[in-house]
Structure formats: C-alpha cells, structure tokens
Amino acid sequence: MAEPVSLRSRMAPLVGEALEALQGSTIESVTERSEPFRVPASRYIDPDFADAEMQAVWPRAWQVACSVDHVARPGDFFEYTVGRLSVLIVRGQDGELRAFQNACLHRGNELCNGSGSGLTELRCRFHRWSWTLEGQLREVPSRRGFGVIRSEDYELPAVAVDTWGRLVWVNLDADAMPLDDYLDEMPAEVAWADLDDFRCTALLTTEMQCNWKTLIDGFSETYHVQGIHPEMLPMVDDVNSPQAVWQHVGRLRQPYGVPSPRLRDPSAQLQWDAFVAVMGGRMGLSDPTESGAPPDVPDGSTLRDVLAERIRRHSAAVKGVSLDRFSTEQLMTLLQYNVFPNVTILVFGDLLQVVKARPGDRPDRCYMDIVVFERAEPGARASTPATVQLAKGEADLGLVLNQDVDNIEKAQRGLYQPGFTHLSLSGEECRIANLHRNLDRYLASWDGTAD
C-alpha cells in the first residue's frame, strides 16, 4: 500500500520552475512544452486540500460578489458567501459602496442575509444591536448592562470593495493589493468595450456536483470544443486562438464566424447554420431550425463582416443600442479572461457574461453563478437584476453551456478512480496551469495560522 502523503507534500510546487515560468507567457511559448503540466488529482477531491484553500485562498483573493446593479442605490445590499465566509455589500446613504464581514459584534450572529433594497440600518435580529450603513455602532439595547461600550471600538470590520467592469469585487484581506493591480493587463486591454455601459439582467445560481476547479477549468480552455461542442466547429477557430498568462489573469482571444481548421472546407451553409445555432440570438435569430440560406458575402467582405453587421442592425432596431463604433474584429472575436481563483469573463462588443464557481460544503460540490448582462446606451439607469436559484436539471442555459454542465459530473467522478493520480495539461490548457500556479503561491505564502 502506498505511503500516506502529507498535506504539506501535496501542496508542494507542482512542476516548480515550469509553472513559475508560465507567467508572462504567450501561447507560442507555452505550447512548446517538453512535458505536460502534471497536477495531482487530490487537489480536486481531498477535503484537507479544500480546507487549505478555504484558509489560504478565499479570505485573501479578490472575488466578484455581484454586479453594480445589485447595489446601485442607497440602502441596496447584497450578501456574498463563499464557503463559511459571508460579506455584506451595502450602498450607504452617502452613496458610497462599503463591505463588512457579516457578523454582529455582540455574539457573532449574522447581521443580514440575501439581497434587497431600502435598508436604513444593519440591525441584528438576535438582541437588536444596530449599526449605520456606514458601519458605525448605533444602538445597544440595555447598554448600561455591559458597563462601558465605546462605539469606536465596535465599528463593523470592513472588507475591501471595489468595482470594475460593472462588477463588485471584494477581498477580506486587510493587506490586499489594489484591485487594479490584481487585474493585470485586463482593464487596459478591454477598455475599448466600455464594459461599464452594460447592465445586469440576472444572477443565476445552481449547485453542481463537482469541485469548484473542475467547473472553472471547463471555462479555462477551448480544447474541449471538438469533444463536447462539435456543433461549434464550423463557426469558431478553436486552434488559432492566442492566449496570454499574466499574474492572476489569463486570456484567450478566439475568432468566431470562421471554421475550425479541424474541419475540411465546411460549406457556407454549414458555417451559417452553426453560427445561428450557437449564437443566433445576437442577430435576432433564436430558432436554429429557421436559419434559412446563408447570407451573401459581398466582394471584399467576409462572413464575419456580414455577421457583425447583422448584430449591429439587430441591436439598433430591437434594443435601441448602437454598436456602430465596434469593428468586425471587436464583435466577432471572443475575449475570455480567467481571473484567479474562480471567475471567467466573456466579452464580445455586444456581449458580457460572467461565470464563477464557489466552493460547496464538500470537495465535490460547488455553486455555479452566471451573471448575465445587456449592453445599454452610455449613462443608462441601473437595472434591477433578477436573482434566480436554479434546481439541478432545471437550468436551460443554451446549447453550449448545457453541454458543459452535462459533462461536468463525469469530469469529477473520474478523478476518484485510484489509478488516476494526475491531470496532464498541455500548453493549450495554460490557464488551468496558471490557476494551480497561483494556488501554489497562495498556499506557500499562508503560514497556517488563522488570524
């Protein structure tokens, strides 16, 4: 029988220098590999490893809590939970966004749950201590019974909060680096897309029977398109898709409206039908059985140009939103960012979608959050997003996401087989390798003492 492996050795750097060298890579260099990145399967199934993540990663990494639309007005609040941690995000009467650890300073009861609006104070239900939305102690019933309580000693513990890309980010670490630095090159690279103009329409949450990393790994590579999304092959170049890896962020740039080189000369009809089936809604074609004949492509244009123009026309006619400033490239190339630890952000000029994975109460459970946005004209009023809990199997997330979800439990169960000890990653899966490189960094810099 094999020797038990200590937690410390399981957390040892995986392939050390190779992973360290990953940062600053482009796909050209990471594909030239002499051997796979090998990641221990235990990282996805071991309760001790999940506990280590719970202490070393989640209280120290920037995370997307909600959209700006969830907390746009004074008195709006949103409770963000990750494992045992709970953070309250509150818009104060002064218009400032603040975040607090969700614990009453009397005996620790959670102060507030869920999300909503119209809050005028944070009042604990247990014995009714209350705080202002700015975190100042306001009232202690029967205060004299405690002796002296100095209000300045009882301010709610603040959590770092910032916004970027119409998203609210929080970090429980008092020494956290600024969000701007954490996000590496992403804000500058995608500044052209004016992400602040999007408005959130819905936050969908569903529980999944897999590790949070199994889920987010599926949004960190497109090597699996040929496997579980073969319908996409006539409309996406899944091979010539440059990637970059910075510190916390990795990025894919993937052309849509062109066929995969894995196919041999797909017909114009096949390319058109595939685009309509996968994302016809962007052009107002939601029924793939009625795609019709492929559009004419004028001389000097490409199918991408024609698709981009249809997307512009649909947006202007139906949504009243002009996309004229966006080029074919900006409308027809997917930018997919992966932000450590658990967020992926998908951007086309007309589209923003965020998917995140939060750990569940055991290593093979997690929550998938999908944050859905619609582009609006600059300066549009904040929206009121729907918050929806979807039961397992109830979620119809569209062709491609449904296929991802359908495979996910199989991807997790195989990890438990005793003969499967390591995942082997190619350079094409460098954003998954970067997740593990960052896990190593966070685990190595955590001293193991709760503070």
143 belongs to the binding site for ligand FES (CB under 6 A)? no
Judge residue 330's burial from the number of C-beta atoms within 10 Å of its C-beta, 0-12 exposed, 13-18 middle, 19 or more buried: middle
Q: How far is the CB of 129 from ligand FES (least distance, A)?
A: 4
**Which of ligand FES, Fe ion, none does residue 313 bind to, with CB < 5 to 8 Å depending on kind?**
none
* Smallest distance from Fe ion to CB 344, Å: 11
| Shortest distance in whole angstroms from residue 39 CB to ligand FES | 43
Decide which of Fe ion, ligand FES, none touches 107; Cβ closer than 5 to 8 Å per partner kind: ligand FES
Contact between 107 and ligand FES by CB under 6 A: the answer reads yes
Of the pair 404, 429, the CB lying nearest Fe ion is at: 404
Q: Which stretch binds Fe ion (CB under 5 A): 126-134, 168-176, 185-193, 404-412?
A: 404-412
State the pairing for strand pair 343-348/130-131.
unpaired
404 binds, among Fe ion, ligand FES, none (CB under 5 to 8 A by kind): Fe ion
For 243-255, letters b (16+ CB in 10 Å) and e give: bbbbbbbbbbbbb
Q: Residues near 273 by Cβ (< 8 Å), separated by ≥ 6?
A: 234, 288, 291
Residues 6 or more apart whose Cβ sits within 8 Å of residue 90: 71, 76, 77, 97, 98, 99, 100, 119, 122, 133
| Smallest separation, CB 109 to ligand FES (Å) | 4
Q: Does 109 bind ligand FES (CB under 6 A)?
A: yes
| C-beta of 128 vs 325, nearer to ligand FES | 128
Is residue 98 within 8 Å of 197, Cβ to Cβ?
no
Q: Which stretch binds ligand FES (CB under 6 A): 121-129, 235-243, 280-288, 434-442?
A: 121-129
- DSSP β-ladder status, 386-390 and 198-208: parallel
Query: Could you say whether residue 104 binds ligand FES (CB under 6 A)?
Result: yes
Residue whose tokens read 């970090």: 171
Kindly report the length of the chain.
Answer: 451
Q: Does 428 bind Fe ion (CB under 5 A)?
A: no
Alpha helix ranges (H) inside 149-267: 179-182, 186-189, 212-217, 225-228
Q: Evaluate the omega torsion of the peptide bond into residue 341 and state whether it is cis, within 30 degrees of 0.
A: yes
Q: Which is nearer to ligand FES, 142 or 417 (CB)?
A: 142
Angle in degrees, CA 331, 254, 422, rounded to 5: 150
| Interacting residue with Fe ion among 69, 221, 404, 440 (CB under 5 A) | 404
- Smallest separation (angstroms) from Fe ion to the CB of 368: 13
Closest CA to 371 of 352, 358, 395: 352
Q: Backbone dihedral region of 224: left (phi > 0), alpha (psi from -120 to 50 degrees) or beta?
A: alpha
Instruction: Please report whether residue 209 would count as binding ligand FES according to CB under 6 A.
Output: no
Which residues inside 123-142 make contact with ligand FES, applying CB under 6 A? 124, 126-129
CB of 106 to ligand FES, least distance (A): 3
By CB under 6 A, how many residues form the interface with ligand FES? Answer: 9
Q: Which residues bind ligand FES (CB under 6 A)?
A: 104, 106-107, 109, 124, 126-129
Q: Which residues bind Fe ion (CB under 5 A)?
A: 404
